[in-house]
Amino acid sequence: MLLEVRNVHIAYGDAPAVWDASLDIDAGQIVSVVGPNGAGKSTLINSIAGILRPRRGSIRIDGVDVAMLPGHRVCDHGVAIVPEGRRLFTQMSVLDNLELGAYRAEARGRYLQTLEEVFTLLPVLRERKAQIAGTMSGGQQQMVAIGRALMARPRLLLMDEPSLGLSPLIVADMFRIIRRINERGVAVMLVEQNIHQALEVAHHAYVIEQGRIITSGNPESLLSNPQIREAYLGV
């Protein structure tokens, strides 16, 4: 198993945000975590990325517990994140942003190869590599954020609300890109409020509500669950 999260509890001060969360992601899978705004999705994914530390529980990558490691050490285990809101260096060029993603020793050694792979996957970045990132559209900035994460050559790509604020056409393109990333052998953990799209692309999904994972299963079973359909899909 590539990622094993077991009984993780995360809090902000005295305010608990995620309770007793457990999930698995195998190599080559796309796993979606869906739920309403404020359910704890971003908190959970940031904990896996090493941005937040859980109060208790374990987060294992290839059997190694990384729960207490800082983010850059988690990255050394083959994890990269596309954060909510992109968080680009907006006064720097597209190419400069991409270069910052390749700071791992393994990634630096294969920089030119990886850059060409990113440009092939996201050709708009090749066309606009000299452009200042902050002058790009929201969809183009999201592609820069995805490209930057891929420059680290991750085995597990964490994506936090990648469709947020994007037009439907751009969202459709982005989910096609997620499939192509996965076809290249990268596992993806996708945190999304766009439940239809997130379930459509996933091999497995978890539903989180008020900090607790309330159910999980393959997307077809979740879509056929009347409670899930009514609560989250409006059907």
Using DSSP's 3-state secondary structure scheme, residue 59 falls into strand
β-partners of residue 100 are: none
Q: Rounded to whole angstroms, what are the CA distances from 18 to 162, 190, 228?
A: 21, 17, 20
Please give the residue that has the higher pLDDT: either 121 or 229.
121
Q: How many domains does the chain have?
A: 2
Distance CA 100, CA 220 (A): 39
Given 112, 129, 153, the domain boundary residue is 153
pLDDT tens-digit profile of 16-55? 999 999 999 999 999 999 988 888 999 999 999 999 999 9
64 and 159 part of one domain: yes
pLDDT tens-digit profile of 148-196? 999 999 999 999 999 888 888 889 999 999 999 999 999 999 998 788 8
117 and 233 part of one domain: no
Q: What is residue 234's predicted lDDT score, i.e. its pLDDT?
A: 56
| pTM of the predicted model as reported, rounded to 2 decimal places | 0.94
Q: What is residue 193's predicted lDDT score, i.e. its pLDDT?
A: 79
Given 109, 138, 153, the domain boundary residue is 153
Given 153, 182, 214, the domain boundary residue is 153
146 and 160 part of one domain: no
Q: Are 155 and 26 within 8 A, CB to CB? A: no
55 and 163 part of one domain: yes
25 and 59 part of one domain: yes
Residue 59 in this model has a pLDDT that exceeds 60: yes
69 and 159 part of one domain: yes
Using DSSP's 3-state secondary structure scheme, residue 93 falls into strand
36 and 8 part of one domain: yes
Q: Which domain holds residue 84?
A: 79-153
125 and 178 part of one domain: no
Q: ∠ at Cα 28 (49, 202), nearest 5°?
A: 80
Distance CA 122, CA 143 (A): 7
